[in-house]
Chain A
Amino acid sequence: MNSTHKIHVEGLNLFYGDNQALYDIGLDMPANSITALIGPSGCGKSTFLRTLNRMNDLIDSVRITGKVLVEGTDIYAPDTDVVSLRKRVGMVFQRPNPFPMSIYDNIAYGPRIHGIKKKAQLDEIVERSLKQAALWDEAKDRLNKSALGLSGGQQQRLCIARLLAVEPDVLLMDEPTSALDPISTLKVEELTGQLKERYTIIIVTHNMQQAARISDTTAFFLNGVLVEASDTEKMFQTPSDKRTEDYITGRFG
């Protein structure tokens, strides 16, 4: 295994009850880069993303075989502490989902549950996280107002800030801009570009231009199978599989 690979997936199968949703997936996701997962609706890309921080555990009927190594440790080993895994591998969801609390309390939520109580330290984390998520200027005068009063784009950046506040290593993003307008989308894209210097980012996207614009590696999923994964530029210029070519040229999906 290459040491620059943050996440290494091997022989991963996933079943919802009797239905198999992922077939023998093998993929390496390098550190400090953006890996985009693309493919048509229902191809398994979001399901795959959710195996990386074990969010699929929330669904009773899911069964998983194979290996997912995060920094060399198998996260499906029986002695895995799922709570501390999710602290390291954080997630941003498709729809912005701020808690019905103030902006400040949203950001401070993670640090607080992980035991930070000092006001000065929380103030510092809130400011730093909002700055990293490029939301500080818009939010600094209304930290005690409800997060639900923010616009959709601001809410999504708030969710990213809330995640950065727990200092994860890996950011999983499940179509983070699909509910946003073009300007907010651009802001979130710029943000991910800045964040990859410090984090490993895996992003699911419907939007192929977005994958081409922001990612370093792209993986193409189809019907639960990983068809092709390679350098983004190579994938979009000279795809090696016919199905990939058909998809990225818009012939289906």
Chain B
Amino acid sequence: MNKTHSKLTDRVATLYFWLSGILIVGILAWFLFDILSKGLPNISWKFITGMPSEVAAGGGVAPMLFNSFYILFLSLVVSLPIGVGAGIYLAVYAKKNKFTDLIRLSVEALASVPSIVFGLFGALLFVSWFGWKISIISGAATLSLLNLPVLVRVTEESLRTVPASYWEASLALGSSRWQAIRKVLLPSALPGLITGITLVAGRALGETAVLIYTAGTASSRAFPDFGLKEMGSTLAVHLWYSGSSSLAPDADQIAKGSAALLILIVLIFNLAIALPGRIISKRHNGGN
């Protein structure tokens, strides 16, 4: 191959990669512009704080907004300790044998199950069998099943990025394994863990398929209602509902407003977690 030819190939390749990057940024920008320009005019203080309306125009999304965070919070209360615990087990304690292979295989299988299937499973298990009805608690429980495998993997992977030398150093100073995990491994893995948990939470905020059959498409008439047995439509479910089956005359505007609001919330939520996370990990690293 001659020199001018390889130079040309290099240029074409560079151009291709550059264009791919530009395309991604372009799609994102277009998407954001479209959603926000159509949605933001529909967002008002009344929309955010108002109660939803089934048939009349001018309904708000206050309970949905509340339910989104309430269900997210409840599902993380359940899935975080179990998911992080299993991740620590796999990364630190587990020996390589058939049993741990089975755990890993199960985690991967669970992670690849479509969320609508989790939704049906939750509907059968929590809604019918446990008798929890279509409620906030059923939705949160099903959502935590969806989060669980991802949390396990995120925890295991972020712990594996911590150099083995930290682990050895701690044990060689006479620490127990738990002390080494709590004082060295987890703090060092914190940035990765926080990123992972933020992604899980962001996905959970936007989740619909899991919640339609378990938390329902309606919400309590009271606000805020912490009742676990109340129906708990979230913002994302409300967006789906307004866009597909609502009878309200302004359903289309409500859907657009909800979409824009949802994006803003996920954005703010990510920033709110990522920024303090960085500060914490910087402080842990001795401010260098």
Contacts and interface: CB of A to CB of B under 8 A. Distances in A.
Interface stretch (A5-13, A159-167, A183-191): A159-167
Interface string B182-194: 0110001000000
B173 A163 contact: yes
A100 B174 contact: no
Given A99-B166, A148-B286, A53 B172 contact: yes
A163 B168 CA distance: 13
A145 B172 contact: no
Interface in A152-175: 159, 162-163, 166
A95 B165 contact: yes
B280 to A, nearest CB: 13
A195 B173 CA distance: 18
B224 interface: no
Interface in A110-133: 110, 113-114
Contacts of B165: 93, 95, 97
Interface in A55-80: 55, 58, 60
A196 interface: no
Given A97-B163, A100-B188, A113-B179, A146 B285 contact: yes
Contacts of A51: none
A90 B172 contact: yes
B210 to A, nearest CB: 38
A144 interface: yes
B233 to A, nearest CB: 45
B287 A166 contact: no
B166 A101 contact: no
Contacts of A147: 286
B172 A149 contact: no
B95 interface: yes
A165 B210 CA distance: 54
A146 B163 CA distance: 17
A97 B169 contact: yes
B288 A149 contact: yes
Contact of B171 (A86, A98, A148, A163): A86
Given A113-B175, A166-B174, A100 B169 contact: no
Given A58-B168, A60-B96, A90 B285 contact: no
B284 interface: yes
Contacts of A84: 174
B95 A60 contact: yes
A91 interface: yes
Contacts of A113: 173-176, 179, 183
B173 A145 contact: no
A83 interface: yes
Contacts of A98: 169
A74 B264 CA distance: 64
Given A60-B95, A97-B166, A87 B173 contact: yes
B176 A55 contact: no
Interface in B5-57: none
Contacts of A90: 172-174
A146 B172 contact: no
A84 B176 CA distance: 9
A109 B183 contact: yes
Contact of B286 (A83, A102, A166): A102
A109 B285 CA distance: 14
B173 A166 contact: yes
A231 B203 CA distance: 67
A28 interface: no
Given A93-B169, A97-B166, A99-B184, A114 B174 contact: yes
Contacts of B184: 99
A103 B286 CA distance: 8
A111 B166 CA distance: 17
Nearest to A86: B174
A101 B286 CA distance: 5
Given A86-B173, A86-B174, A101 B285 contact: yes
Contacts of B284: 100-101
Contacts of B169: 93, 97-99, 159, 162
A146 B283 CA distance: 10
A14 to B, nearest CB: 18
A100 B285 contact: yes
Given A102-B286, A144-B287, A146-B286, A83 B168 contact: no
Interface of B: 95-96, 163, 165-166, 168-176, 179, 183-184, 188, 284-288
17 contacts: A55-B171, A58-B171, A83-B174, A86-B174, A91-B172, A93-B169, A100-B188, A101-B286, A110-B173, A110-B174, A113-B175, A144-B286, A144-B287, A145-B286, A145-B287, A162-B169, A162-B173
Interface of A: 53, 55, 58, 60, 83-88, 90-91, 93, 95, 97-103, 105, 109-110, 113-114, 144-149, 159, 162-163, 166
